[in-house]
Amino acid sequence: MTDLARADTAERPRADRVPNALRRAAPALLAYAAIRALGVVVLAVWSAANGKDWHTLLAARWDALWYTRVAEQGYGYTVHLADGDVHSNLAFFPLLPWLERGLSALLPLSAADAGLVVSWTASLGAAWALYATGERLHGPRAGVALAALWAAVPVGIVQSMAYSESLFTALAAGGVLCVLSGRWVTAGVLASLAGLTRPVGAAVVAAVWITAAVTLWRARPEGDGVRAIPWGRHRRMLLGVLLAPLGWLGYVLWVGARQGSLTGYFDVQGGWGNGFDGGLAFGRFIRDQLAGPAFLAGLALLIGVALLVWLYVRTARRGQPLPLLVYCGVVVLLALTAKGYFGSKPRLLMPAYPLLLPAAAALARWRPGRAWSLIGVIAAGSAVYGAFWLNGSGPP
């Protein structure tokens, strides 16, 4: 066999890898697309009945307006509110508006419509990564169930909005999957891009760093210390570790330089009333709900928090791999310890897809008809809730 023939034989499996993976993921992508399409259709019908435009609700309300303004005008826009709060668009990480600007320059699309295209495309990428994760851990049926369950979470309509959650989840899930499969450089690149998308990109960095540290520690000869770690055999891992924080750290430092303060980004978040206080503000909010006329709402919140903690503990006890545990734990921790508008917490928790893995694994063991009947009911409830939510208070 000639060298050229050998090279062709070696490269063919690699060239076929993506098409084969896409074929395996096709049922998950179809299920995901069907559930999200149902959500958009119900939203369109509900909005028409209320005299509202579904397209505006998805592309030109709340945070989507801020992203569009960054795409069209760049950074520097600030709103001073009567209560003293200062809302600066520096609070919004740049990858989504960069993509909106680039896409609208290439195609006859407004920045808002480009945001929808990015979000819808990225949501399919996220579904693909979730399928691959479920398939790797529990088999193909669990992968399909995981993608479908994520599409049908109560606030799943956000995945179809010109928001950054779908883009972030696609990058984060892809990065964590690469850590699971030992593709460290790709994991570092995806972690860096996730860090350019949302502040919670730090969770992906943590998954890369902690998993790398544990892997290196276990690679040392038994009984020896740090000096015995075979650093030279893990160059790609170390490169991924170095790449992972560049996006998040780069943007935070850039905002700090622009604001003239090392804590500039966190000061900007403070102007929005955001920040992290260990969950004290959220705890007081639940306490006030329980002590007032909104007792049932407070009780529901308390039950919701307890359910989240129980789900996380359950995933840990089931032996979920370390990268998923670290990533999910940081996402949940940051969401629950953040102060600010508490109605945003379900949206902030949406990237915590590993919490759905036990349910996906359980559904994979059911008969298909029974499993899909349950997923269908959940998807219908999500569609109705999403339409009600966006036609009401919406996801600020």
The reply to whether 368 falls in a domain is no
**pLDDT given for residue 85 in this prediction:** 86
pLDDT band (50, 70, 90) for residue 12: very low
- Assign 11 a pLDDT band (cuts: 50, 70, 90): very low
pLDDT at 10: 40
Chain segment 185-240, per-residue pLDDT in tens: 999 999 999 999 999 999 999 999 999 999 988 877 665 666 666 667 788 999 99
List, in sequence order, every residue forming a beta bridge with 276; answer none if it has no partner. 338
Question: 119 is written with which tokens?
Answer: 């979000």
pLDDT of 9 higher than 60: no
User: With 80 as the cut, is the pLDDT of residue 80 above it?
Assistant: yes
Is residue 369 in a domain? no
pLDDT confidence of residue 181: 94
Confidence bin at 275 (pLDDT 50/70/90) = confident
Q: Which one has a higher pLDDT value, 319 or 385?
A: 385
pTM over 0.85: yes
The number of distinct structural domains making up the chain is 1
Question: Could you tell me the pLDDT band of residue 315, with boundaries at 50, 70 and 90?
Answer: confident
Give the residue with greater pLDDT, 215 vs 36.
36
- What is the rounded average pLDDT of the residues 152-170? 97
Evaluate if residue 314 carries a pLDDT over 90. Answer: no
**Percent helix, percent strand, percent coil in the chain, to nearest 5:** 75, 5, 20
Give the pLDDT of residue 226. Answer: 61
| Residue 150: closest CA among 341, 352, 328 | 352
Query: What pLDDT shows up at residue 7?
Result: 37
Of 237-241, 303-307, 349-353, the range with the lowest mean pLDDT is: 303-307
Section 302-314 average pLDDT: 89
> How high is the pLDDT of residue 4?
36
- Flag the least confident range among 14-28, 102-116, 234-248: 14-28
Tell me the percentage of the chain whose pLDDT exceeds 90.
72
The yes-or-no verdict on residue 56 having pLDDT over 50 is yes
Question: Which residue type sits at 83?
Answer: D
Report the pLDDT value the prediction gives residue 294, as an integer from 0 to 100. Answer: 78
pLDDT bin (cut points 50, 70, 90) of residue 297 is confident
CA distance to 46, 54, 152, 153, per residue, from 386 (Å): 10, 11, 10, 10
pLDDT at 230: 65
Q: Which of 245, 196, 200, 192 is nearest to 93 (CA)?
A: 196
Q: Over 60: is that where the pLDDT of 292 sits?
A: yes
Please tell me the distance from the alpha carbon of residue 303 to that of residue 78, in angstroms, as a whole number.
Answer: 37
Tens-digit pLDDT profile for residues 359-381: 999 999 999 999 999 999 999 99
Decide: 344 and 165 in contact? Cβ < 8 Å: no
∠ CA 47-49-51 to the nearest 5 degrees?
65
Q: What is the pLDDT of residue 299?
A: 86
How confident is the model at residue 1, as a pLDDT? Answer: 43
| 2 pLDDT more than 60 | no
Residue 358, domain member (yes or no): yes
Are the CB atoms for 151 and 35 separated by under 8 Å?
yes
Q: Is the pLDDT of residue 35 over 80?
A: yes
Q: List the domain range (segments joined by +) for residue 171.
A: 3-362+376-390
Express each pLDDT in 119-143 by its tens digit: 999 999 999 999 999 999 999 999 9
- Give the whole-angstrom CA distance, residue 190 versus residue 201: 10
User: For residue 302, what pLDDT is reported?
Assistant: 86
Q: When comparing pLDDT for 3 and 153, which is higher?
A: 153
